[in-house]
Chain A
Amino acid sequence: MIRPEADTLLEIVDLQARVEDKPILKGVNLTIKAGEIHAVMGRNGSGKSTLSKVLAGHPSYVVTGGRVLYRGANLLDLEPEQRARLGLFLGFQYPVEIPGVSNLEFLRVSTNARRSEKGEEELDTFAFEDLVRERLQVVQMDPAFLERSVNEGFSGGEKKRNEILQMALLDPLVAILDETDSGLDIDALRIVAGGVNHLASPDNATLLITHYQRLLDVITPDYVHVMAGGRILRTGGKELALELEDRGYDWVDQELAVLEVA
């Protein structure tokens, strides 16, 4: 939903970053307002996932230039947990398995961290169980998964549902979903996408990072950005995704080559 008068939630200006000694992001510009759904598409290695990790504060990535404003404040000054508490959410492409740590306990601790930042009361075990059982329905998840260790032994689809469940509990303002569609069969994709659609509101925004058009068949983006060589090369509406589907990425490579020569 594009509304010119909506608040700007995230403003990325000329963002550059490297991992080890390798520059990955080479000047990303992107502005996201409340109510909007953005999709970033691109080949493997174009910098899409790096962008999501830099925004969430992964320690292996070093920002070498540019700035990121989150609701007007400098995001890059904040620790990853502060970013999360303030409402930035990253749905992982490969959610980490944590043996021995109960999923329910983890969800409760993280939900309470976010709630106390919002000035809401922390939930005790019983109140939280009520909340989590209600939110489970968003992703049609079996409550049995709450009793297991975080993501341990979950299938690819179950892990992604668990990510969206976390999103449903944390109530983020900006949700970045990194390849949430990868490894999902069509039914799981519908469920996950249904969850994302359900959670989208005029007050929050979603940034989808994806390879494929198929996710965008079920979640309609307001903007589609094509990333290549660590930059956003082109921005358009949802028809840009269809064009990519139709023509492939070769023309992107050609445009990038021209740009890099220049």
Chain B
Amino acid sequence: MVAAMSNSAAVAASAWVTTFLERLPAPVGELEAVQWRGREALSRQPLPSRRQEDWRFTDLAALTALAPALAPALAPASEQGRWPEPAAGVVRLWLDAPGDPLAGQSLPAGLSLLDADEVQQALGHTLATCNCEQHWPVELNQASAPRVLALRVSAVVAPTLELVSQAAGDGVMRPVRVLLLLEEKASLEVLQVQLGSGSSLTSLVIEAHLGRESTLRHGLLALGEGPACFLGHLAVEQEPRSLLESVWASHGWALSRFEPRVVQVDGEATTSLKALQLADGQQLADTHSRVEFRGPEGQLDQLHKAIADDRGRSVFNGAVKVPRAAQRTNASQLSRNLLISNQARIDTKPELEIVADDVRCAHGATVSRLQTDELFYLQSRGLSAAVAAGLLKRGFCEEVLRALPAAAAPWRPLQRLLGEI
């Protein structure tokens, strides 16, 4: 439902988008047509409104406070010694590099780049299947992304692929687009690291098509600071007997919104979604997920965890659609939230649409504080209240973080998420 925005809000939204579009370079390159399309869409549909149900809890003030212009390509920051060395068996690609991110690197066996025709054909296919190609954060990315990393996965790929991108500095926008086509029985593990600082905007769109019996393990570590904002969108279509394991963890963004959209096109696939989002200071961390079963015997295991401290706000909306065709679906969704301060806020909403009658769909949501008895137990062993609270928070995070690809370890996700380094 799109309701009319109030006049002044509409004018402001329109002005923001106009400025944004004006600062973009002329459409060019392999994505020229996509850029035109995105820009037209944005000029028609300036910004999501909080009157739209999907955006009700998402205050875009932090986004509209930015004046982003497309970031120039950058030499890998890892060369400056700011990043950890990749773990053994990890192939790191620096997505912000000038020219080809693969320059000087050979892809591991089982991975190949799509050619221009194949990109043309495949790009947007999964977005359309997931019914989100006109979704605002997607159009924002389409309007601005200068290129796409498009990979075919044709076998079991042994090394983990690590994709790193950074939006650093004021007024910078970093759009990242990734397309993964997994053929039958192929398998790939990907770790994406998105870093943001200054008044920058990161826009991420990942499309993945999982062929029969293929496996995609996708980890996303999104670490921001200061006024930086993050808009991420993961669209996945799964053929039968494919496996998707998605783990994401985020902290530090003034505004972060992550939108996993999964469609099991004929059911019979397995989807696992695990998330951890932390919001403190004035941060807003938002996850809107949607999983749709279009055939029988699909499985979903979803765990969403959040910690809200200070005046931070966490939003989770988890839609699960089980139409009549999706008999014998087995889905579970759990939202667990830790509310640390009195001013913090948690909004969590399961949204289950179940039409099929022979299904198992479990869902649960808990919001709690640190437990007095747990704190006291640790204190009674000599730990200060602060150390005890820290240990309990770490324990809370651990359950999700240990599911990240092993390649995440050198980034020390726990310490980064908890602001210890």
- Alpha-carbon separation in the docked complex, A120 to B292 (Å): 59
Q: Is A57 a contact of B377 with CB atoms below 8 Å?
A: no
Give the segment of B187-195, B222-230, B280-288, B378-386 that binds chain A.
B378-386
Interface residues of B in 354-384 (CB under 8 A from A): 371-374, 376-384
Q: Is A100 a contact of B380 with CB atoms below 8 Å?
A: no
With contact pairs A81-B379, A114-B382 given, residues A109 and B392 touching in the complex (Cβ less than 8 Å):
no
- Alpha-carbon separation in the docked complex, A35 to B387 (Å): 33
Chain A, Cβ-Cβ closest to B401 = A100
1/0 per position for B379-421, CB-CB distance to A under 8 A? 1111111011001101111110000000000000000000000
Which residues on the A side are within 8 Å of B385 (C-beta)? 79, 81
- Alpha-carbon separation in the docked complex, A149 to B396 (Å): 11
Q: How many residue pairs between the two chains, A and B, have CB atoms under 8 Å in the bound complex?
A: 77
1/0 per position for A46-78, CB-CB distance to B under 8 A? 000000000011111000000000000000000
Q: Is B394 a contact of A81 with CB atoms below 8 Å?
A: no
Q: Is A84 a contact of B381 with CB atoms below 8 Å?
A: yes
Give the segment of A6-14, A88-96, A217-225, A250-258 that binds chain B.
A88-96
Chain B, Cβ-Cβ closest to A83 = B380
Q: Is B381 a contact of A170 with CB atoms below 8 Å?
A: yes
Q: Is B395 a contact of A80 with CB atoms below 8 Å?
A: no
Q: Which of A60, A83, A95 contacts B377 (CB 8 A)?
A: A95
Which residues on the B side are within 8 Å of A79 (C-beta)? 379, 384-385
Q: Which of B373, B380, B399 contacts A84 (CB 8 A)?
A: B380
Q: Is A100 a contact of B372 with CB atoms below 8 Å?
A: no
Q: Which of A56, A57, A58, A100 contacts B394 (CB 8 A)?
A: A100
Q: Is A100 a contact of B399 with CB atoms below 8 Å?
A: yes
CB distance from B399 to the nearest CB of A (A): 6
Q: Is A113 a contact of B381 with CB atoms below 8 Å?
A: yes
- Alpha-carbon separation in the docked complex, A106 to B383 (Å): 9
Which residues on the B side are within 8 Å of A56 (C-beta)? 376, 380
- Alpha-carbon separation in the docked complex, A90 to B394 (Å): 24
CB distance from A86 to the nearest CB of B (A): 9
CB distance from A102 to the nearest CB of B (A): 9
Which residues on the B side are within 8 Å of A80 (C-beta)? 376, 379-380
Which residues on the B side are within 8 Å of A30 (C-beta)? none
- Alpha-carbon separation in the docked complex, A99 to B397 (Å): 10
Q: Is A101 a contact of B380 with CB atoms below 8 Å?
A: no
With contact pairs A101-B391, A101-B395 given, residues A110 and B383 touching in the complex (Cβ less than 8 Å):
yes
- Alpha-carbon separation in the docked complex, A101 to B380 (Å): 16
- Alpha-carbon separation in the docked complex, A170 to B381 (Å): 8
1/0 per position for A218-252, CB-CB distance to B under 8 A? 00000000000000000000000000000000000
Q: Is A117 a contact of B377 with CB atoms below 8 Å?
A: no
The yes or no answer to A2 lying at the interface (CB within 8 A) is no
Q: Is A113 a contact of B373 with CB atoms below 8 Å?
A: no
Q: Is B391 a contact of A106 with CB atoms below 8 Å?
A: yes
Which residues on the B side are within 8 Å of A117 (C-beta)? 382
Chain B, Cβ-Cβ closest to A86 = B382
- Alpha-carbon separation in the docked complex, A170 to B387 (Å): 18
CB distance from B31 to the nearest CB of A (A): 43
CB distance from B173 to the nearest CB of A (A): 37
Chain A, Cβ-Cβ closest to B399 = A100
The yes or no answer to A33 lying at the interface (CB within 8 A) is no
- Alpha-carbon separation in the docked complex, A16 to B219 (Å): 55
Q: Is A81 a contact of B398 with CB atoms below 8 Å?
A: no
With contact pairs A60-B372, A92-B377 given, residues A170 and B396 touching in the complex (Cβ less than 8 Å):
no
Which residues on the A side are within 8 Å of B388 (C-beta)? 81
Q: Is A113 a contact of B383 with CB atoms below 8 Å?
A: yes
- Alpha-carbon separation in the docked complex, A85 to B383 (Å): 9
- Alpha-carbon separation in the docked complex, A117 to B396 (Å): 29
Q: Is B377 a contact of A96 with CB atoms below 8 Å?
A: yes
- Alpha-carbon separation in the docked complex, A98 to B380 (Å): 14
- Alpha-carbon separation in the docked complex, A79 to B382 (Å): 10
CB distance from B69 to the nearest CB of A (A): 42
- Alpha-carbon separation in the docked complex, A249 to B21 (Å): 84
CB distance from A235 to the nearest CB of B (A): 27
- Alpha-carbon separation in the docked complex, A89 to B382 (Å): 9
- Alpha-carbon separation in the docked complex, A96 to B379 (Å): 12
With contact pairs A59-B372, A59-B376 given, residues A166 and B381 touching in the complex (Cβ less than 8 Å):
yes
Q: Is A99 a contact of B395 with CB atoms below 8 Å?
A: yes
CB distance from A174 to the nearest CB of B (A): 13
Q: Is B382 a contact of A81 with CB atoms below 8 Å?
A: yes
- Alpha-carbon separation in the docked complex, A110 to B397 (Å): 21
Q: Which of A85, A98, A99, A105 contacts B382 (CB 8 A)?
A: A85
Chain B, Cβ-Cβ closest to A90 = B380
Q: Is A106 a contact of B399 with CB atoms below 8 Å?
A: no
- Alpha-carbon separation in the docked complex, A58 to B375 (Å): 10
Q: Which of B373, B383, B396, B399 contacts A81 (CB 8 A)?
A: B383
Q: Which interface residue of B372, B373, B382, B387 has the most chain A CB atoms within 10 A? A: B382
Q: Is B378 a contact of A106 with CB atoms below 8 Å?
A: yes
Q: Is B397 a contact of A100 with CB atoms below 8 Å?
A: yes
CB distance from A100 to the nearest CB of B (A): 3
1/0 per position for A140-172, CB-CB distance to B under 8 A? 000000000100000000000000001000100
Q: Which of B373, B382, B384, B394 contacts A101 (CB 8 A)?
A: B394
CB distance from B361 to the nearest CB of A (A): 25
CB distance from A209 to the nearest CB of B (A): 15
- Alpha-carbon separation in the docked complex, A122 to B14 (Å): 61
Sample of 12 further A-B pairs with CB below 8 A, known A83-B380, A89-B380: A58-B376, A79-B384, A85-B382, A96-B371, A96-B374, A98-B377, A98-B378, A98-B392, A100-B397, A106-B391, A110-B382, A113-B383
5 tightest Cβ-Cβ pairs between the two chains A and B: A100-B395, A113-B382, A110-B381, A100-B398, A101-B395
Of the A-B pairs whose beta carbons lie under 8 Å apart in the complex, a sample of 16, sorted by A's number, is A57-B379, A59-B372, A81-B379, A81-B381, A81-B382, A81-B384, A84-B380, A96-B373, A96-B377, A100-B394, A100-B399, A101-B392, A101-B394, A106-B381, A110-B381, A110-B382
